[in-house]
Amino acid sequence: MSNPPLSRRGFVRDALCSAVTAGAVLTVPSRLWGAPAIITRDRLRPQWPSGVQTGDPLTDRAILWARSDRAARLHVEWDTTDRFRQVRRLQSAVATDASAFTTHLDLTDLPAGQDIWYRLRYESAELPGVFSEPLVGTFRTAPRRARSVRVAWSGDMVGQGWGIDASRGGLRIYDALRRAQPDVFVHSGDNIYADQPLLPEVTLDDGTIWRNLITDGKAKVAETLDEYRGAFAYNLLDGHAQQFGANVPVIAQWDDHEVVDNWFHELVLANDPRYTEKRVRVLAERAKKAFFEFLPIRRHATEAGRIYRQFRYGPLMELFVVDLRSYRGANSANRQPASSAAAAIFGETQLQWLTNALRSSTAVWKVIASDMPIGLVVPDRMRDGERNFEGIANADGGAPLGRELEVAQLLEALQAASVENVVWITADVHYAAAHHYAPERAQFTRFNPFWEFVAGPMHAGTFGPNALDRTFGPEVRFASTAPRPNRPPSDDLQFYGTLDVDAGTRALTAALWDVTGKRLWSTELAPADPRR
C-alpha cells in the first residue's frame, strides 16, 4: 500500500516548493511583502545556503531556524493561512559567523493545533535595506484537544559512503517523508556521519557509478568546529531536504556519528591516524555546538546542552525524547552486577526524569523516542581482550546486568505505577523491524508487555539483522534487512516509520515504510484503558 494522495494542504505546499531542485532555494514573489522589490545585484543580497527548518513544536510555539551566507538579520511574517492577510511580524538579532550565520527564533503566542505559514527575508547587516529573496514555509503546532495525530521517525543520514548523487534523486527519503504528511518528524540520531568522509565515486554491483557531491565538510573526518558544521551543512544542500524542512517540524536527538563511531566521553582515538585531535571529549563539545547550531532545537532553560525533553500532542499522545549518548559510562563487557556510573546508559538524573514524566503523563499513548534499541545486540570492538558492547544488550540473555539494569529499573517502576500504553521508537541498526517484548518470554519479568519499532536508515548503508538478547523477552514480528551488508540507497532499502493515533477509537497504528512510500508492515494497537 502506498501513501495516500496529497491533501489540499500538501498540494499547496508542493506548489510553493515546486521550484526546488538539488541545491535550489525556496522563494516567493516580492509582491507578497506588500512593497515593490528593490533591484539589487544578487552578489550583494544575503543568500539561503541551507533553506529553513522548524522544530520542537508545542501548542503555542515552535523554533524557526534559518541560515544566511553572511551577517544578516532575519525578518519574519507569519499567519494562519497562506494568504497572509493578518500577518504578525518579528525579527531576529544579527546572525554572525560566531554561530555559522544560523538563526533560531522561538515563535510564540501561536494558536494550538493550527497550520502556521511564514515568510522570511534576511537583511544584510553590512548593507541595510538590501534583502535576500523571500522564502516561505509552513508547519503545524501541537493540539490541545483530541485529534488524530501522525508522528514519523527514522535515523542515519549520509553514512557508509553514500552522499548526495543528484542524478539518482538526491536524498529521496526527505521527499517520501514530506509526502507522508506527519505532524512532526523525530530524527532518531546520526543526523550526520562526521567520521565518514565521502569519495567522489563508488562503483555499484551492476557496474554503474554512484557520484557523490563533495564539499570541504565531507572531504575528511570532522575534528574542528567548522568541519562539524560542514557535515551538517552538506545534508541541507539537497533540494528534498530543503523542501522537507519548509513543510515538516523536526524533533532531533543524537547518537554516535554526530561525533565519532561508538563514542563515549573517555574514549581516546589513539590508533586512528585520521584524527589529529585524539580526545573524544573535545570532539564531542565541538560536535554538540554544531548540532545545536544547525538543528531547530529549543535550548533548555537551565541546561543549555540538554537533549532529552518531552512533547505533548493533546490528550492522545506524548513524546519522550531520550539521550543515550551524553550520560553513558564507557563501552565495556556490560556485565556490571549493580547500577553504577560505569553501567549507565541513561544516567541517574535522566532516568529519574523519564520515570517521573511517564508516571505523571495523562496521555493515552506514551512514546519513548530512543536513539538505540533495547534488545538488539550492538557490539563494539574488543578492548583488553574482552568483547565490548555499544548498546544496552550484553548478549548473555540472562538476568539484567550492566546497562540493562537501568532499563529494568524503568520497566519495573512503570509496572508498579500502572503506566500503560508505552511504545518505543528507535533507529541505529540500519534496517526496519518490529519487536514485541513480553515477560513470559523474558528472564526479567517485572514489566508490562510493550512494543519497540525500529526504522532507518534514511540515506546510508542498509544492514541487519542484529542478534536478539532475551533478557526482556523480545520477539521479532517483522524485519526488512539487507541481503548483503552496506546496500546503497539505490536499492530502495531505506526506511521510516509512522505512528497514527485515531481520535475516534484512540487506537495506535504503527507502520513501517520504504523510500518509495510503500507500506511494508503495520499493526493496530488498542489502548489498554479505552475510558481515558
Q: What is the pLDDT of residues 413-447, one digit of tens each?
A: 999 999 999 999 999 999 999 999 999 999 999 99
Which pLDDT score is estimated for 38? 53
Which pLDDT score is estimated for 40? 62
Which pLDDT score is estimated for 384? 80
Residue type, 208: T
Per the DSSP assignment, residues forming a β-bridge with 521 are 512
Instruction: Sort strands 432-437 and 474-480 into parallel, antiparallel or unpaired.
Output: antiparallel
**Residues of the chain under the 50 pLDDT cut:** 1-9, 11-32, 34-37, 530-532
Question: What does the alpha-carbon distance between residue 211 and residue 168 come to, in Å, rounded to a whole number?
Answer: 9
Which pLDDT score is estimated for 25? 37
Which pLDDT score is estimated for 33? 54
C-alpha pair distances (Å), 455 with each of 89, 195, 217, 405: 39, 22, 27, 25
Which pLDDT score is estimated for 18? 38
**Cis bond leading into 527, ω under 30°?**
no
Which pLDDT score is estimated for 382? 86
Residue 44 phi, psi (nearest 5): -90, -15
Helix, strand, coil share (%) of the chain residues, nearest 5: 20, 30, 55
Domains of the chain and any CATH numbers: 8-140 (2.60.40.380), 149-212+244-271+298-525 (3.60.21.70)
Per the DSSP assignment, residues forming a β-bridge with 89 are 77
Residue type, 479: A
Which pLDDT score is estimated for 21? 35
What single-letter DSSP state applies at residue 485? S
Which pLDDT score is estimated for 44? 95
Question: What does the alpha-carbon distance between residue 284 and residue 264 come to, in Å, rounded to a whole number?
Answer: 9
Residue 123 in contact with residue 93, Cβ under 8 Å? no
